[in-house]
Amino acid sequence: MSTIMVLNGPNLNLLGQREPDQYGHETLADVEVMCREEAVKHGYEIDFRQSNHEGVLVDAIHEAGQLIKAGKLLGVVFNPGAYTHTSIALHDAIKGAEVPVVEVHISNVHAREAFRHHSYISPCAIGIVVGMGVQGYVLGMQGLLHKLAK
């Protein structure tokens, strides 16, 4: 059985606890359940992670690259949080490790502050889901499967 990694960046551990108007009422644990249920439907497992630390996320992308080369991982559904708008390190990691990434944002970043309009991740993503709430994770998984599953 193959695996899909679902990777979450800084502050997403607070999901469901604050800012419900922006991010909804579901917690990250709820999102994990949704992703696992979707994965099972397609015969996949989920490797669900969150970190507030840029280097830990870089390491996770590198690990994903190794797992993909070993045929154990399909790709990564990635909500990089605020690092979306700042991290050349994550951009380089995705490119360097040749990891198929679907970038997901719960909110419509393009309808928010100008500093959220630019993404360092989008140029190296195979697809992007924006503004669909936490359902965006499931849509991102479906997109990854549609593009890559044999």
Phi and psi at residue 5, to the nearest 5°: -90, 135
Active-site residue, selected from the candidate residues 23, 44, 83, 120 = 23
Size of the site for ligand CA2 (CB under 6 A): 16
Sheet holding 127-130, edge to edge: 44-50, 2-8, 73-79, 101-105, 127-130
Q: Which residue has the tokens 């924006």?
A: 130
Report the residue from 18, 88, 114, 123 that binds ligand CA2 according to the rule CB under 6 A.
18
4 binding ligand CA2? (CB under 6 A): no
Q: Is 137 one of the annotated active-site residues of the chain?
A: no
By the 8 A CB rule, do 27 and 17 touch? yes
**Segment near ligand CA2 (CB under 6 A), from 10-18, 31-39, 42-50, 141-149?**
10-18
Report the residue from 29, 56, 82, 111 that binds ligand CA2 according to the rule CB under 6 A.
82
19 binding ligand CA2? (CB under 6 A): yes
Q: Is 120 one of the annotated active-site residues of the chain?
A: no
The SS3 call for residue 149 is: coil
Q: How many Å apart are CA 65 and CA 85, to the nearest integer?
A: 22
137 binding ligand CA2? (CB under 6 A): no
109 binding ligand CA2? (CB under 6 A): yes
14 binding ligand CA2? (CB under 6 A): yes
The contacts of residue 39 (CB under 8 Å, 6+ apart) are 4, 45, 46, 141
Q: How many Å apart are CA 97 and CA 68, to the nearest integer?
A: 9
Active-site residue, selected from the candidate residues 44, 91, 105, 120 = 105
Residues forming the active site: 23, 105
For ligand CA2, the binding residues (CB under 6 A) are 11-12, 14-15, 18-19, 23, 79, 81-82, 84, 105-107, 109, 116
